[in-house]
Amino acid sequence: MKKLSLSLYLLIFAFIFPINAQTDKETINSIFENAVTDYTAYEQLRYLCKNIGPRLTGSPQAAAAVEYFFQELQNMGFDTVYLQETTVPNWIRGEKEVARIISSQFGTTEMHAAALGLSVETGIKGISAEIIEVKSFEELAKLGEKNVKGKIVFFNRPAFTTHYQTGAAYGGAVEQRTWGAVEAAKHGAIATIVRSVGTGKDFYPHTGVMRYKEGIPKIPAIAISTNDADILSQQLKAEPGLKVYIRTTCKQRADVKSYNVIAEIQGSENPNNYITVGGHLDSWDLGEGAHDDGTGVVQSIEVLRLFKELKIKPKNTIRAVLFMDEEIMQRGGASYAEQAKRNNEKHLFAIESDGGGTLPLGFSIDASDQILSKIQSWQDFFIPWGIYSIRKGGSGVDVDPLKGYSIALGGLIVNSQGYFDLHHAPNDVFEMVNQREMQLGAAGMAALIYLIDKNGLE
């Protein structure tokens, strides 16, 4: 036999060069290229934002989001799709809030306001009282009970925006929202108004969670927009003793049952080893929860879609987890970690996308220096796709309970410049999301998971 038949040639060729013997570079490029041209996740996000809408933890909309994605993930044909029970708070906003400056000099000014999550209500009659402005808890403490008692404390320290990462601006101001009511109540205040913790100059109020402390009276807390905060501050300067009227009817109801939604592609070699990618399904209720965190949800699903579509067979099980209740009590994240430990699952890596679906710029890695170095050694795969910074740092609220249990944790770092203009605010809507930017983020996480799955971390 002097001549091999064509089919025999092909057979030998296929044996020597198996079909999936792509280089890592080719695989990673195909992940990005497939992602930016695909609209599955973007259309899921549209449905979530426009057909389900805002989905406060414990609300019917949050339950609808669970149901929608449970069906959607089954339709997409992943190996396993299931719900993981958790118990979540059920705080209800009630009627549209009223916040009104009553000035003898400037007349009446209606402000754009929103009750903070977990706040008690003023009740239907509202509260009218003198306002006192402070920029810090120290300033408040110096004023003391004699200046504060019976008044409404107005926390007006702006987010300092000089840092490149706007998260730093947020982090520097958010204590006023979270702990302002506790600090004010210590000195006898009857309510608090906080300047919205955001980077924009506009009329959008930004809500967010606040906390009470046992033994300290629970007083109502609202946020007003940054522009309204400036107006209130100006009027107060011109007219000390100025009064403000606020009215909220928010209520805390009994906890309800809810779920994380989980889908898996089973690992071919180590099905009981897990790599998790997640975002949170619940959102605040003023906008549509598009960037916070609809994008993280659909990106997590997109990671699985990319593996399936590109026929990448992972060694370890890849899980997309749509966490419930990130915004209020973080019960979904806690339940997920508890369950993992109870089942003795081995967790290699868990990454979260909860900084908005904007242009991805890097990964924040919470792991030993050795593991960080290994991940950084893959940097060159990512640079052509704009992901240039792999650095040590935190992960995210929902995967953090796995800390010390998972070998490494991670967070997707994205363009944060506009995020705190819309964070927890009415303008966090679908239209603010760019399909390509969101998909690049999903592809970045898929590529990182591909490399970790293939090479391990240790």
CB of 85 to a second copy, least distance (A): 38
Cβ nearer to a second copy, comparing 199 with 248 = 199
Return the DSSP state at 121.
P
Task: At 349, list the tokens.
Answer: 């890596």
Question: Do the Cβ atoms of 377 and 422 come closer than 8 Å?
Answer: no
Closest separation in Å from C-beta 384 to a second copy: 6
Between 100 and 135, CB nearer to a second copy: 135
List residues bridging with 253 in a β-sheet: 90
Separation of alpha carbons 175 and 172, rounded Å: 7
The residues binding a second copy (CB under 8 A) are: 32-33, 36-37, 39, 161-162, 164, 166, 199, 201, 359, 361, 384-386, 388-389, 415, 417-418, 421, 434, 436-437, 440
Q: Which is nearer to a second copy, 328 or 440 (CB)?
A: 440
**Nearer Cβ to a second copy (283/439):** 439
Q: In terms of Cα–Cα distance, which of 113, 99, 288 is closest to 206?
A: 113
DSSP for 157-219, please give it: PPPP--SSSHHHHHHHHTHHHHHHHHHHHHTT-SEEEEE--SS--SS-----B----TTS---
Shortest distance in whole angstroms from residue 164 CB to a second copy: 5
Report, in Å, the least distance between residue 447 CB and a second copy: 13
In the chain, count of helices (H) and strands (E)? 14, 16
* Catalytic (active-site) positions: 326
CB-nearer residue toward a second copy: 149 or 201? 201
Residue number, 192 or 364, with CB nearest to a second copy: 364
Do residues 68 and 61 make contact, with C-beta atoms less than 8 angstroms apart? no
Tokens of 30: 């195909």
Least distance from a second copy to the Cβ atom of residue 166, Å:
7
Whether 46 and 434 have beta carbons less than 8 Å apart is answered as: no
User: Distance of CA 125 to CAs 122, 128, 247, 253, Å?
Assistant: 7, 9, 7, 21
- For residue 256, the Cα-to-chain-centroid distance in whole angstroms is 21
Nearest-angstrom CA–CA distance, 198 and 295: 20
CB of 358 to a second copy, least distance (A): 8
